[in-house]
A and B are shown apart, each in its own frame.
Chain A
């Protein structure tokens, strides 16, 4: 099933021809209307006319998150404010938020791409979409909302929080699709269980989870606990919001990037060289149709790989692998690179371990220490100390063997790790606080 079959199944040559045409047009627009790009392009010695093939993309300068902060709030906008119909901003945990503006056409594009994403996930007209992404400056809520309406499904604008009410509404309104962060879905499952509600009695069929990295093991856990088919969605406000890429329900193997609107590249974050298909590196995206705030080679800091292999679903758009994490989530512990998602995958592979964990990094006597706190649920509890200690030792050993980092596992009581109704906080890094 497709939302826009013609574009979703375009042959590769046609995608590339369209990308080149749109790339040139976008560069022509920003070199005229955005002083930042005018200067950056001049410095790189590139003009829109000198772009002859997609390989020329590599000659274009990168755009960094810091450039967006420096342009706060509107200096990267490529159209007059009177053409901007919507403004969103990132959460901005450090310093000023990054601000993005959308023209009416941008909103239409976003709605279409989100509608395509819903269909790829197995959603159709007639579904009741329970949208628990936050509404507001964050792009999640409204992005999914507009996509749902564009598709013609019924959307319930829940936003995050008030979990008991969420569950009541899911039950009473007959929600068939759930959209939220993967960690919030598990929190809901836990809350429902406490209320004595079985997800098998709900009508949920599809869950579309994103806005934070999660593992394949966590997918199996969510699918089991919520009794639905869980797919991964990717997006970021700088590029558009949710719906930049989506897993298809047919393969659930990599997320299709809507290449008629975005050009993805994978680079080595240190050397900045473009990496071949299949290699892990930082995802860089160029928006080729955006009007409000087009971005050239935006450094997402998300770590993934790309494949152009045909997919069984029939979509011809390239697929990026499930995110391993963000380069800024990456922990460097005694010189070893560790992503929280890698530790999650190991934990979820151990019998009985619940997906509630937090990583605590500290520096003691100039040495980094990693503590992994894991909640002891009924499935892993034993009345005998030696069994619990053997379990901790097993996790420590696997982390050491698979990631090359020494850690200490600390078993903690259930619910002692803070639950999140939005993005889960998996890492507490106390190293720079002292």
Chain B
């Protein structure tokens, strides 16, 4: 049920982000959503794309350090307290959120959040057990 995300190490240098996105664009890879975590020296660009393997290959060919990570996409009711409900359930089971960001597209009436957990499988079990809708990767890649 997890979603594949690729992470790229990027130095804080002029034009690096443009270069990464250009390489992906030229290879016909479509970015579904992204998030950028940064420090003063470097950043980590996290991407969910329509073709993870291809994105990884073309970036590696161009000398970037790339890794693949498992994340979880969860549908969240678009109402006050929607996100808090989910976090509370996870908290109760002792699952840590390493980071999270929003997916750009909505899924029907609901928003979609991307989570990176310390224990991916356990988190998926907890969420589905509480009837939260965990979206499979295939849904997201083609959304």
CB of B88 closer than 8 Å to a CB of A: no
Q: Which residue of B lies closest to A416 (CB)?
A: B11
Q: Which residues of A contact B69 (CB under 8 A)?
A: 383
Inter-chain contacts of A412 with B (CB < 8 A):
11, 42
Closest beta carbon of chain A to B132's beta carbon, Å: 23
> Knowing A376-B9, A383-B7 touch, does A414 contact B41 (C-beta < 8 A)?
no
Using A383-B69, A383-B116, A385-B39 as known contacts, say yes or no to A414 and B64 having CB atoms under 8 A apart: yes
Residue contact A382 to B67, C-beta cutoff 8 Å: yes
Query: Please, how many angstroms separate the alpha-carbon atoms of A411 and B13 in the complex?
Result: 12
Q: Is the CB of B44 within 8 A of A378?
A: no
> Is B65 a contact of A381 with CB atoms below 8 Å?
yes
- Say whether A383 contacts B67, CB under 8 Å: yes
Given contact pairs A376-B65, A377-B65, A389-B39, A383 touches B10 in the complex (Cβ within 8 A): no
Establish whether residues A378 and B116, one from each chain, have CB atoms under 8 Å apart when the complex forms. Answer: no
**Chain B interface size range:** 20 to 34
How many A residues, CB 8 Å from partner? 17
Question: Are the CB atoms of A378 and B65 closer together than 8 Å?
Answer: yes
Q: Which residues from B are CB-within-8-Å of A415?
A: 63
- Tell me, yes or no, whether A410 is within 8 Å of chain B by CB: yes
Q: Which residue of A lies closest to B63 (CB)?
A: A415
- Residues B99 and A381 in contact, CB atoms below 8 Å apart: no
Grouping DSSP codes into helix (H, G, I), strand (E, B) and loop, the A interface class, with mixed when no group exceeds half, is loop
Once A383-B7, A385-B39 are accepted as A-B contacts, the answer to whether A413 and B65 lie under 8 Å apart by CB is yes
- Tell me the bound Cα distance from A410 to B12 in angstroms: 11
Picked from A377, A383, A410, A416, the residue with its CB within 8 Å of the CB of B44 is A383
C-alpha spacing A389/B69, complex, angstroms: 18
Q: Given A378-B65, A382-B67, A388-B42: A413 and B7 within 8 A (CB)?
A: no
Docked pose: A414 CA to B5 CA in angstroms: 21
- In angstroms, Cα B46 to Cα A132, docked, is 42
Chain B, residues 24-55, CB within 8 Å of chain A (1/0): the string is: 00000000000001010110101000000000
Min CB distance, B57 to chain A, in Å?
Answer: 13
Quick check: is A384 within 8 A (CB to CB) of the other chain? yes
Q: Would A413 and B11 be within 8 Å (CB), given that A378-B65, A383-B44 are in contact? A: yes
Instruction: Check B42–A411 contact: CB distance below 8 A.
Output: yes
In whole angstroms, how far apart are the Cα atoms of A346 and B142 in the complex?
Answer: 46
Asked if B98 CB lies within 8 Å of chain A CBs, one says yes
Q: B-facing mask of A347-390, CB < 8 A → 1, else 0?
A: 00000000000000000000000000000111001111100110
Q: Which residues of B in the span 59-102 have a Cβ within 8 Å of any Cβ on A?
A: 63-67, 69, 98-99
Beta-carbon contact of A378 and B67 below 8 Å: yes
Residues of A within 8 A of B98 (CB): 384
Chain B CB within 10 A, most for which of A385, A389, A410 = A385
Q: How far is the CA of A389 from the CA of B98 in the complex (A)?
A: 15
Task: State whether B10 touches A384 (Cβ < 8 A).
Answer: no
The 7 closest A-B pairs by CB, nearest first: A383-B7, A383-B69, A381-B65, A415-B63, A376-B9, A413-B11, A385-B37
Q: Tell me the B residues contacting A by CB distance below 8 Å.
A: 5, 7, 9-11, 16, 37, 39, 41-42, 44, 46, 63-67, 69, 98-99, 116
Subset of 13 A-B contacts with CB under 8 Å: A376-B65, A377-B65, A378-B65, A381-B65, A382-B67, A383-B5, A384-B116, A385-B44, A388-B44, A413-B16, A414-B65, A415-B63, A416-B11
